[in-house]
Structure 1
Amino acid sequence: MLTQQEPTPTTPGMTFDQMLERVRYEGAYPTRDRAEDTVRAVLAALGRQITGDERVDLAACLPLEAARAFTSQIPATQPLTGWGFVKDLAARIGGTPATTRWDTGAVLNVVSRLAGPDLVDRILAQLPAGYGLLFGRAELTRAA
């Protein structure tokens, strides 16, 4: 018997609705609207941090609505550390750092699957310390 497989987060051409459902599941959000608000806020904040080819390449990996939220922001002149990113986003959305860290992880985990490991490596190389954990990766530090 043939069954239709549900698209995975790495499926090219993932729709925005599929992305929202994946984030809703990962973040355990009670409604689609809550997941959508979270996706838009996190992607807009991320859009203030990423520049250059990585910005263009990441936008190309995202569903159109997500790419619009991501590219709607002008990159900051001084990128924030990972913790600074979470604190800034918490202040903008009126959340706590703990819940904002959860929200960020739920969204960026899906984004990292859409982008693939090579692009995520390039993005993390561009950003200050602290973003690895937000993208669901171990944060390795170098010995002095």
Structure 2
Amino acid sequence: MTYGTFMSTVRERGEYAADEAERIVEAVIETLGERLPDTSAEHLADQLPTRLADIVDRSEGPARTWGVEEFIHRVAEHAEEDEASAEEHTRVVLSVLADQITGGEMNKLISQLPSGYADLFGHGELT
């Protein structure tokens, strides 16, 4: 999937305007990059279009240990949205991301995150 295809899929699923989709994707992907350990972020980045890979990889310091609620709160801050909207945006972006990566990478990603994250990716059955 190219960056353009990723963005058009997000726009379609979330019914966003182009500029809104870019802001939301960046907020969610950046927050995910902050949450993941460096090696996990690198493996994820390897499967993403370069522009998204750069966003995942740009976080510095140790991985955060946020649960789902704190993750959503951070997305809301990055996107300058309320938390209900941020949760909806997160579900849209992460479901498109889940479609982008291999099943093995998806399983590794979910296994490194606390319960509840799988549902955000649209894979509640992996919880």
Q: What RMSD, in angstroms, separates the aligned Cα atoms of the two structures?
A: 1.7
Kindly report which structure 2 residues correspond to 1:1-144, keeping only aligned pairs within 5 A, or say none: 14-29=1-16, 31-74=17-60, 76-138=62-124
Q: Which amino acid aligns with 2:30?
A: A
CA apart distance, 1:95: 1.1
Q: Structure 2-normalised TM-score?
A: 0.90
Tell me: CA distance 1:43–1:113, structure 2 relative to 1, closer, same or farther (3 Å): same
Deviation per residue, 1:35-90 (Å, 9 max, x gap): 11111111000000111432222101110001111111125444101121001221
Structure showing the higher helix proportion among its residues: 2
Provide the C-alpha distance between the structure 2 equivalents of 1:120 and 1:35, rounded to a whole number of angstroms.
Answer: 23
Percent identical residues: 29
Q: Which runs of 5+ in 1 are unaligned?
A: 1-13
Q: Which of these two proteins has the greater Rg computed from alpha carbons?
A: 1
Corresponding residue pairs, total: 127
CA apart distance, 1:125: 0.9
Tell me: CA distance 1:94–1:139, structure 2 relative to 1, closer, same or farther (3 Å): farther
Q: Which runs of 5+ in 2 are unaligned?
A: none
Where has structure 1 moved over 6 Å in runs of 4 or more? none
Q: Structure 1-normalised TM-score?
A: 0.80
Provide the C-alpha distance between the structure 2 equivalents of 1:77 and 1:21, rounded to a whole number of angstroms.
Answer: 30
